[in-house]
Amino acid sequence: MHIFSQSFKYDHSWSHVVIGMWHKYPNPHCTHVVNVDVLDRTIDPVTGIIRTERVLGCKQKAPSWIVKLFGGSEDAFVREISFIDPATQIATITSINLSLSQFATCYERIQYRPMSSTQTSFTQTAEIQVRMAMWRSMTDKFEDWLVQRFEQNAISGKAGFSDVLRTMWEAKEQQTAPS
């Protein structure tokens, strides 16, 4: 597993950053995000917390061998869940890849919190994990298949060569056989 993290600050109030969150795309620096949809949204009437579930479609620049091996497409999708809590002034955004998630997961968490009335901190952590169990079962299957192929080829190779030897030598051996 690989862990990535970074943090920095924006020179804007927390409310401006959080309002800006909904206007983040499209943006010329993130042209890979091509569509954004809200799938679910709830406003808790007691806590005032807003939970939003979105799906983001991106043009992925996956290495071509990944696309060939795993049959991915040019489009990759990410599920994003955000919580905005005005009482604690914490906004948390969690994103997890939907595409190719059977092979690897990228779990990203972003938090925006106020540092002062004009500054907001941004912290980001991401865990990237390849699903070893999946790889293992895949490599095991591949290995089994190779062994089977080898055994099969070995059997048919033996049968084939036996035939060749027989047709080559049978007649001669009969001729020269001591009578």
Partner 1 sequence: MAHSLSAECTPLKHEYDACFNTWFEGYLEPAIANASTKGHSQDQRIEYSKLKKEEYDRKCGSIWAKYKDCVQKAVTERGLGELLSQARQENPLREPPPPDASGSS
Structure tokens given for 144: 């089994």
Question: Are the C-beta atoms of residues 96 and 79 closer than 8 Å to each other?
Answer: yes
Candidates 112, 125, 60, 124; CA nearest to 86 is 112
92 vs 167 by CB, closer to partner 1: 92
Give the chain's radius of gyration (CA, Å): 30
Measured over the CA atoms of residue 162, residue 165, residue 167 and residue 170, the dihedral's sign is negative
24 vs 166 by CB, closer to partner 1: 24
Determine the Cα–Cα distance for residues 156 and 164; give it in Å rounded to an integer: 12
34 vs 164 by CB, closer to partner 1: 34
Candidates 17, 162, 174; CA nearest to 93 is 17
* CB of 100 vs partner 1, minimal distance in Å: 10
* CB of 144 vs partner 1, minimal distance in Å: 26
Cis before 26? omega within 30: yes
* CB of 64 vs partner 1, minimal distance in Å: 22
Binding site residues, partner 1, CB under 8 A: 5, 7, 14-15, 18-19, 22-23, 25-26, 33-39, 41, 43-51, 55, 57, 77, 79, 81, 83-90, 92, 94, 96, 98-99, 101, 107, 109, 111, 113-115, 121, 123, 125
21 vs 138 by CB, closer to partner 1: 21
Determine the Cα–Cα distance for residues 146 and 107; give it in Å rounded to an integer: 35
34 vs 146 by CB, closer to partner 1: 34
* CB of 151 vs partner 1, minimal distance in Å: 37
* CB of 36 vs partner 1, minimal distance in Å: 4
